[in-house]
């Protein structure tokens, strides 16, 4: 396969992961998708653009190139479910709305999907692991921010409208509770947005697997409502007028991560 990820190394102990930003499809997936899936509606749209201040901040960034419709990088390789109830797996079978993703008989073969695990999932997680190890070796600790976004209303997955900012730390297991409290407090300073900590989205595989406070690796997932920065339906247009104030909060969250790390570790 061609390029499967985009990685930019930074100069501070923070890695921003964007596992659902990819838009590329393999021929087998593209040819099998139902018409309403061909626009890739379940993408974490425009996340690299939304976080393009990361370079100025000095953070490392890691973004997927392939769509989650090919393989979901935020699911474990053994495909064990992360959430009770309706959810999607390593190889999604349905859209978020519960509609089958592929036309009948057009699902990629097991052999095809095994190649996605090896050639797309594997390189992303190796790069993630290597960068966290580098950060810890250089700074004595590492901070991981897993950046996501989702349509604000999806009845098949959750009731009502999601809070705008959904912070997840796997119920406190993925990062220091003090850090999580500080991030929640920043959200509370912006009453125009709603927020929750460890609500419907507690953190996917990346947050759960790599977050290890006992080993000085602190991971936080943010599931951001797309209504805070874009139009949620086709053509999924980025809205700078919406995004600008949202980016203020995102920048404050990432600044707080780094400030907390510096205070906690004395660097």
CATH superfamily of 5-265: Zn-dependent exopeptidases (3.40.630.40)
CB atoms within 10 A of CB 241: 7
Distance CA 7, CA 17 (A): 9
pLDDT band at 86 (very low <50, low <70, confident <90, very high): very low
How does pLDDT run across 184-193, given as a tens digit for each residue?
999 999 999 9
Q: Are strands 14-18 and 60-64 parallel, antiparallel or unpaired?
A: parallel
Tokens of 185: 């407090």
Average pLDDT on 18-43 reads 97
pLDDT for 85 beyond 60: no
pLDDT level of residue 36 (50, 70, 90 thresholds): very high
- Res. 129: pLDDT tops 80: yes
The structure tokens listed for 19 are 């596992």
Q: Is the pLDDT of residue 18 over 50?
A: yes
Residues 6+ away with beta carbon under 8 Å from 129:
210
Confidence class for position 266, pLDDT limits 50, 70, 90 = confident
Question: Which helix (DSSP H) or strand (DSSP E) does residue 240 occupy?
Answer: helix 240-265
How many CA atoms are closer than 13 Å to the CA of 24, on its beta-carbon side? 14
Give the pLDDT of residue 60: 98
DSSP state of 10: -
Residue-wise pLDDT tens digits, 133-149 = 999 999 999 999 999 99
Least confident range of 82-91, 113-122, 155-164, 182-191: 82-91
- In 3-state terms, what secondary structure has residue 26? coil
Lookup result for tokens 């705008």: 164
Check whether 259 has a pLDDT greater than 70: yes
Residues 6+ apart with CB under 8 A from 203: 146, 168, 169, 170, 174, 211, 219, 220, 221
Confidence of residue 168 (pLDDT cuts 50, 70, 90): very high
d(CA 148, CA 72): 13
Kindly report the average pLDDT of the chain as a whole number. Answer: 95
Q: What confidence category does residue 267 fall into, taking pLDDT thresholds of 50, 70 and 90? A: low
Greater confidence (159 vs 249) lies with 249
pLDDT in tens, 205-256: 999 999 999 999 999 999 999 999 999 999 999 999 999 999 999 999 999 9
Structure tokens belonging to residue 2? 């061609």
Angle between helices 240-265 and 177-188 (to 10 degrees): 150
Ranges 5-9, 55-59, 88-92, 164-168: which has the least confidence = 88-92
Give, for 195, the enclosing helix (H) or strand (E): strand 195-197
> What is this structure's pTM?
0.95
CA distance 24 to 65: 6
């Amino acid at each position: 396969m061609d390029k499967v990820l985009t990685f930019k190394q930074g100069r501070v102990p923070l890695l921003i992961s964007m596992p659902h930003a990819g838009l590329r499809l393999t021929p087998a997936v593209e040819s099998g998708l139902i018409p309403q899936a061909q626009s890739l509606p379940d993408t974490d749209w425009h996340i690299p653009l939304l976080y393009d201040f990361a370079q100025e901040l000095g953070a490392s960034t890691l973004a997927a190139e392939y769509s989650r419709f090919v393989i979901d990088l935020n699911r474990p390789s053994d495909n064990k479910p992360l959430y009770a109830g309706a959810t999607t797996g390593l190889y999604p079978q349905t859209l978020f709305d519960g509609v089958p993703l592929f036309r009948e008989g057009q699902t990629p073969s097991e052999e095809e999907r095994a190649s996605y695990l090896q050639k797309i999932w594997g390189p992303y997680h190796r790069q993630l692991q290597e960068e966290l190890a580098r950060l810890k070796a250089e700074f004595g600790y590492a901070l991981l921010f897993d950046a996501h976004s989702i349509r604000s209303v999806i009845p098949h997955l959750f009731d009502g409208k999601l809070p705008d900012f959904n912070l997840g730390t796997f119920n406190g297991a993925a990062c220091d509770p003090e850090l999580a409290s500080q991030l929640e407090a920043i959200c509370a300073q912006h009453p125009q947005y709603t927020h929750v900590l460890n609500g419907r989205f507690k953190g996917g595989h990346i947050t759960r697997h790599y977050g290890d406070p006992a080993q000085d690796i602190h991971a936080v997932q943010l599931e951001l409502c797309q209504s805070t920065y874009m139009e949620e339906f086709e053509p999924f247009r980025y809205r700078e007028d919406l995004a600008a104030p949202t980016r203020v909060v995102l920048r404050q969250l990432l600044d707080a991560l780094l400030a907390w790390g510096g205070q906690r570790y004395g660097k």
